[in-house]
Structure 1
Amino acid sequence: MTLTVPEDDLRELERRVQHALAAGDPRGLTVLGYGEVTLVLALETERGAYACKRLPVFDGRERFEAYGRTLARYTDRLSAAGVHVAGTRLWHTELPSGRIAGYCVQEALPAKRLVSRLLHTEGPGWAGDFFARFLDTVHGAVSPALGLDAQASNWIDLDGDLVYLDVTSPLMRDDRGRELLDVRLFFTSLPWILRDAVRIATAKSIFDKFYTPRGVVLDFLGNLHKERLGALVPGFLAQANARITPALTAEEVAKYYRGDAAMWELIQRLRKADRAWHLKVRRRPYPFLLPPDVDR
């Protein structure tokens, strides 16, 4: 069934986002979560509650429509590969500048069923059963042409059905191994003079891991440390290594997480420097709402 989005309420949400950007303050918005590049906002309407992930602003309609085609293809391919994807609708509005503000909109699902929360609240039996289902999903879907950012916060468990939430960065590659995602778009929050250099230096390490089951599982396990769930790693390793070669080790997981955390901390420092330059030197609003510091 096609997800119906409340057009007027979404326009009002974007108006509040623009106000928050001008003020440099997210108060007035209900932030459900910050991604490394985008943020998710809550929207309560007479029709129901929605989770709205605001995308980097597109410089024109052609670029937005190209993204929409890639997103639709990605969700179709994930579904065909056995991944239950949360119903997602792409919505947009044109800004006075002619640029396009876009949102991926989903119906709000019960936050208490997020896997990252359930791993804290449920026992080891539930965790082991979840991870077996997770491994089945990853091995059934991931290939050199189709990737998955499968960390725990990107899944919700509804009556034993794993539902995948985060489709905003469509992970697909062509026959030559090139990303079909508009990668440059997702680096626009960096200072312009550094965008290409950082993209070239980091894009491979950011994306490569998502295209093999081993890399996806390594990223999942590494991010358990960020979620303060490191105690689960040994048990999950035993399950994973029954299906993965070469075997993963706790040391490899910890080293991977340290490297990944350091990379994103550097990117966030660059964004903060760019925000300071916009606000203090250019005397103009900074066009992104940055997450608070993450205790990694």
Structure 2
Amino acid sequence: MGDALLAENGRPAYIHGQAPAKALDSLKQATAIPIAFFAFNHPVHRLFEIATKRPAHLIEQLWSIRMSSYVRSAAYAASQVLAAQGLTVKRSHLSEVIAALLGYRTHAALAVEETDVSLDYHLDDAEVLVLNQTMGEARAEQLGLPAAGVAVPDVMTACIDALKAHAGSVGVYVSVADFYESHASQALAEAIYNDDDVAGAMAESNASFPDEPEMDIECPSTTDLWAAVSEWAIEADGVMTGEYDLEGDRMFNGDTLNCRGRLLYSKAGRAGLVLIEASGMAGADDSWRDLDREDELAYLQSLERPATL
């Protein structure tokens, strides 16, 4: 994971239309990797041939190799952890499980999608990764790991830990609920608190709001993250409670705002997300007016009652 090989506004700068020699030279200058690396080193020992025959796809080929390298590195790390526990699992099987955790039915499907230049983002662009444990567990079952004496939970733990360890600065979450609890709820609270429309609602209330809203504890329902093609969003409600200066001259007209925040992401692969927009909205909670009316009615009724001796 990390920056693209040829970065331009965070995305790979492709070199379509360049002559083979110029394409390879551009690649060498951009990556500072010796030319011999591209000609001879595995797994890119055929890239020189690819460059001379299909320069338009050179970067796309490297893009796929980069993500595949991330998966292979994680699979190797997971295999070492399992081996230390006396469990032998083929690295090819672990690569399949990791691909499933990333939302793909097979590792081959991941590799194919990584070379699709029609997509705005790929897994390597992800700011966060939200894993699909259900798919990962199902893939481990399909590969016959339990029948071979390897418990699925042990495989999941090893693969997830390896993905986190090799993801660099990218946040890795084991589920949408984990993503919400560990990251999105705070991001939503900040989006609400910093929204201009919410600032207007704060000003109208006559109260001061020093703190961000308290967001719902329970993870909100969302569309299927891993099935979403181009965009995915998560929304949640919260409550912001303000403060009044009891010695001040500002009339009380409510100190609670009902809030809602929304985070909109571009998909980066099946499990990856890139934040596009964070927004919020808020409206006054006027339930205090009903309480005031109830108190006033109770007071008037008390005046109508005959005095008791």
TM-score class normalised by the smaller sequence: under 0.3
TM-score scaled by length of structure 1: 0.28
TM-score scaled by length of structure 2: 0.27
Report which structure shows greater RCO (CA 8 Å, sep ≥6): 1
